[in-house]
Amino acid sequence: MQEFLASLVSVAFHGLAYGMILYVISVGLSVTMGLMGFVNLAHGVFAMAGGYVMLSAMNSFGVPFPLALAAAFIAVALASMVLERLLYARLYTAGELEQVLFTIGLIFMSVAVARLAYGPLPQPVHLPEYLKGQLHFLGRDFPAYRVFLIVFSVSIVGLLWFGVERTRWGAMVRAAVDFRAMAQAVGINTSRLFALTFALGSGLAALGGALGADIIAIQPTYPFEHLVYFLIVVAVGGLGSLRGPFVAALLIGVADTACKYWVPEFGAFFIFFATIAVLLWRPEGLFGKEAA
Amino acid sequence: MSAALETRRLCKSFGALTVAEQIDFRLEPGARHALIGPNGAGKTTFVNMLTGRLAPTSGQILIGDEDITTLGQVARVKRGLGRTFQINTLFRNVSVVDNVAFAVAEREGVAWSMFRPASAYRDVLEESMALLDTLGLAADARLAVAGLPYGKQRLVEIAIALGLKPRVLLLDEPAAGVPTMESHRILEVLDALPKDIAILIIEHDMDLVFRFAQRITVLTQGAVLFEGTPAEIAADKHVREVYLGERHV
Amino acid sequence: MTHAGGYVADSRIRAIEWLPWVLAVICFFAAPTYVPLGSYVLTMIIFALSLDLILGYGGIITLGHSAYFGAGAYAAGIFAARVTGEPLLGLLVGTLAAGLLGLITGLIILRTRGLALLMLTLAITSLCLEVANKATDWTGGADGLGGFKVQPILGLFKFDFLGKTAYLYCLVVLFLCWWLVRRLVYSPFGASLTGVRENNVRMHAVGAPVYQRLVISYTISAAMAGLGGALLTQTTQFVGLKVLGFELSGELMVMLILGGVGRIYGAFVGPLAYLVAQDYLAKQFPEYWYFGIGAMLVLVVMFARGGILGIIDALIARVRSRPS
């Protein structure tokens, strides 16, 4: 019994850490898909890029961890803004197929670039000393890095939610998600709003990719391999919502960890079954808007 | 004699919002009937309930003597209910004649055929061409719809519905977006429609309504305000206040 | 109009439509060293044709068509390993297995549209991949399934070292698939699929049972993909997890887009151009190859939505319109 309880706590903890990373990476995807109606399969590219930026900064230039993290966010946010203005923006009114193809093309290109620059193997992660040990509380040991990861993600999520609920930018985003034409009609500069939101979403993905580099290995196949999970978080949670993907990410993080711990022979079955079931029950996702 | 299309105490509400309230409505066989009302009066909701895109909260819908309230859209089409759309809803990258032929083929029940070429069904093609001819679209038959001028696209809207040989035809603002200069062409087409089709037209263009309809129903706030002949409608003070007045101020 | 079919289209086979077959036979004799690559190209053309049927005609955007290719490949492999190596029976088993999977999944997922549908196709492929990965007793898991013997076709034609039998075998199967797809596309059924792609709402309004049509076409497409998968298994005498991967679905999409969607021969030109180029370039510069494919996809979407055949059409139109 004692042992079961211990593994229960462990699964919940690791699942929580994984779920938070999934959320930080995917939330930008939810907002851009809900706001711009854009099927962006290449979202994982930004997460991978974030991971590479942080690890290169740390491994090659000896930049301290917090600075490297910030660099990942800023570099990817800026790069994505350029990408959005040059390419994405032209396809906002295009069909789903065009968007899907275009973003698959981006994935192919980024995979190739990553392999050219870094080779096919996962990048080594050297955590700073202060995140290496164990933290002791509630009568148990927890790896410090994962504790940091959870706390840091929670504060990011808190900031994000505050931003969307309380700031002018947030109000505009919410208005534009609900009534795009209306938002344009009342004079909201949607193209600037889109660019900023897209950059923020990509930056968050980069942050998530960098933070989670020790959990989800940074390697060239990253955008292909983990795409399913990012999309599941968004589709199950509901497009354009902040809370939906949060719930979905935590559920998936915990469920996936639990399955792999207790019934490894079933692998990821449960996740895919659950996804299919949810989408059949509510095609617009758990917290999505009902289609009008 | 039973009506071509009838609703009995038809209601629809979304939560606390009632958008259709106890609508009793009869469309006689061969009727030329117009449904008018200010924006938000519930016309679109009413049409969507008739065609089966929206389920009513309570009440009945009948075609002839048959209760179709619970039937789906496709089953209603099979019972002779055709419709056009306020916003062009066409097969844009397909030729005009194919637009009509798709409808004819569904009516004839040949659209499941997998191994004979479609062009072997001469009767489908000939019927579609004949239909286009009556609407003055024969010359455009082989062009893609997307390339037609807007006014002609509105006619294709009607042509597709006619390809179903409906007993009841719902025309949802057939002249929407067509300049007044050209709307006479739409009216000509409407006037020439077979007399045995019962037609319900939803329209904002009052000139068109008064020239075309023999009966008019006025809908406001989800309920029938008044029903009568065009002359009665024009004379009714209440209607003028609520609807005609509002539009002509 | 670029798509084939409809009630005014002339469905007779034009002379130029024999060209691919003539070329295929010439290649067989003229370039014997390329015969194994040729078999693979022919197999992928079958796979691309199956996708064209639902994507180009039905308008269903799927990221998971490899589920059916893989189902056929594994069914044929397991059948050969456990029951008999008789190839035609194996093809039948692969086709039926994939068709059944297509019917069941189609019934479930085609009720949805848009992002949900896209996700469901992806989830189903992921699920199939996971099954193949975990059911190691049957599939060999990550090591793949091999070591089975494929008997001579009809007891007469042995699969040889040079892959000549395999090539002709693939060519015959492709010919049958082409004939079937061509029939379907020019039929009223094919026309109604075009209608669904062009305007779902209107198709309902003219009384078409849209859902049933999509399920049937999805099933046919899945069965044909499975046939392709079974062919691959038999001609290479091996099945690996790759046949179920998202990357294969992606690559297939690229090939079809490259050739031209919704026009039968796009499914011929695309895989040929893609795989031949890959054979030349990918071995020498694998990274540049993937980059090139990605860049090409982006460019096609931005500038040439009709693919190679679309570009050829445009060029012909320009030459014709030039005053002489």
The ipTM value here is 0.90
Percent of chain B at pLDDT above 90?
A: 61
What is the reported pLDDT for A224? 86
Across the interface, whether the CB atoms of A100 and C298 are under 8 A apart is answered no
Residue C3 lies in a domain: no
- Scanning every residue of chain C, which has its alpha carbon at the shortest distance from the alpha carbon of B120? C7
Number of domains observed in the structure of chain C: 1
> Quick check: B239 contacting C, CB < 8 Å?
no
When pLDDT is cut at 50, 70 and 90, the band that residue C323 belongs to is low
What local confidence, expressed as pLDDT, does residue A162 receive?
87
Environment class of C119 (CB within 10 Å of its CB; exposed 0-12, middle 13-18, buried 19+): buried
Size of interface B-C (CB pairs under 8 A): 129
Once rounded to an integer, what is the mean pLDDT over residues B6-26? 89
Counting every residue written for chain C, the total comes to 324
Q: Is residue A292 part of a domain?
A: no
Most B CBs within 10 A among C57, C202, C224, hence the mutation to make, goes to: C202
Return the pLDDT at A263.
83
Where does B84-212 show beta strands of DSSP type E? 168-172, 198-202
| Residue C135 in contact with partner chain A when CB distance is under 8 A | no
Question: Which of C22, C46, C24, C28 is closest to C173 using CA atoms?
Answer: C46
The verdict on residue C251 lying in a domain is no
Listed by number, the residues of chain B in 21-60 with a beta carbon closer than 8 Å to a beta carbon of chain C are 51
Are A184 and A175 in contact, with CB atoms under 8 Å apart? no
Tell me whether residues C6 and B163 touch, CB distance under 8 A.
no
Return the C-alpha torsion angle C51, C57, C61, C67, nearest 10. Answer: -30
pLDDT digits 0-9 by tens, B27-49: 999 999 999 988 878 888 899 99
Average pLDDT across chain B, whole number: 89
Strands (E), chain A: 134-137, 140-143
Residue B249 pLDDT > 70:
no
Q: How does strand B58-63 pair with strand B66-67?
A: antiparallel
Subunits close to B (at least 3 CB pairs below 8 A): C
Residue span of the structural domain in which A203 resides: 12-128+141-281
Instruction: Assess whether B196 and B154 both reside in one domain.
Output: no
- Asked if C224 and C176 touch (Cβ cutoff 8 Å), the reply is no
Q: Is A176 exposed, middle or buried (0-12, 13-18, 19+ CB in 10 A)?
A: buried
B175 and B231 share one domain: yes
- Domain membership flag for residue A4: no
The shortest C-alpha distance from C247 to chain A (Å) reads 7
Distance CA(B212)–CA(B173), nearest Å, equals: 13
Contact across the interface for C122 and A228, Cβ inside 8 Å: yes
Helix (H, G, I), strand (E, B) or coil at C109: helix
Q: What is the CATH number of the domain that holds B46?
A: 3.40.50.300
- Cβ within 8 Å of C, B 77-106: 77-78, 83, 85, 89-95, 97-98, 101-103, 105-106
Mean pLDDT of chain C: 90
Are B174 and B75 contained in the same domain?
yes
| Residue A187 resides in a domain | yes
B20 and B40 co-located in one domain: yes
Q: Is B120 in the same domain as B140?
A: yes
The total number of structural domains in chain B stands at: 2
- Give the list of residues 6+ apart from residue A272 with CB closer than 8 angstroms, or none: C123, C124, C126, C127, C130
Has residue C238 got a pLDDT over 50?
yes
Rounded CA separation B180/B173 (Å): 13
In a domain, C276, yes or no: no
Asked whether residue C310 is domain-assigned, the answer is no
DSSP helix/strand/coil, C208: coil
- The more confidently predicted of residues A135 and C103 is C103
Residue C231 lies in a domain: yes
At which of B148, B164, B180 does a domain end? B164
Cα gap B116→C77, rounded to integer Å: 35
Q: Are residues B248 and B170 in the same domain?
A: yes
Domain that holds residue C38: 15-245
Name the percent of chain A in helix, strand, coil, to the closest 5. Answer: 75, 5, 20
Tell me which amino acid residue B182 is.
E
Residue A290 lies in a domain: no
pTM: 0.89
Q: Is residue C145 part of a domain?
A: yes
Domain region containing B106: 89-164
Residue A7 domain flag: no
Do residues B3 and B125 both lie within one domain? no
Residue A134 in domain: no
pLDDT digits 0-9 by tens, A225-247: 888 899 989 988 887 788 889 99
- As for how many domains chain A has, the answer is 1
How far is B64 from B28, CA to CA, in rounded Å? 10
Residue pair C188/B98 in contact (Cβ under 8 Å)? The answer is no
Give me the pLDDT at residue C1, please.
Answer: 39
Closest CB from C1, C8, C189 relative to B114 = C189
CA distance A288 to B69: 30
What is the band of B243 on the pLDDT scale with cuts at 50, 70, 90?
Answer: low
Whether residue B245 is found in the same domain as residue B175: yes
- Nearest by Cα to B52 from C204, C210, A283: C204
A30 and A239 in contact (C-beta within 8 Å)? Answer: yes
Residue C8 is assigned to a structural domain of this protein: no
- Is A289 part of a structural domain of the chain? no
Which chains pack against C, by 3+ Cβ pairs within 8 A? A, B
Q: Which two tokens stand for residue A109?
A: 């290109």
- C269 is a domain residue: no
Average pLDDT over residues C273-283: 85
What is residue B201's predicted lDDT score, i.e. its pLDDT?
A: 94
From B146, B164, B182, give the residue that closes a domain: B164
Is pLDDT above 60 for C258?
yes
**What is the widest separation between alpha-carbon atoms in chain C?**
69
Residues of chain A with pLDDT under 50: 291-292
C interface mutation test: which of B50, B76, B119, B131 has the most C CBs within 10 A?
B119
Task: Tell me if chain C has a CB within 8 Å of the CB of B113.
Answer: yes
Q: HSE (CB half, 13 Å, CA atoms) of B214?
A: 10
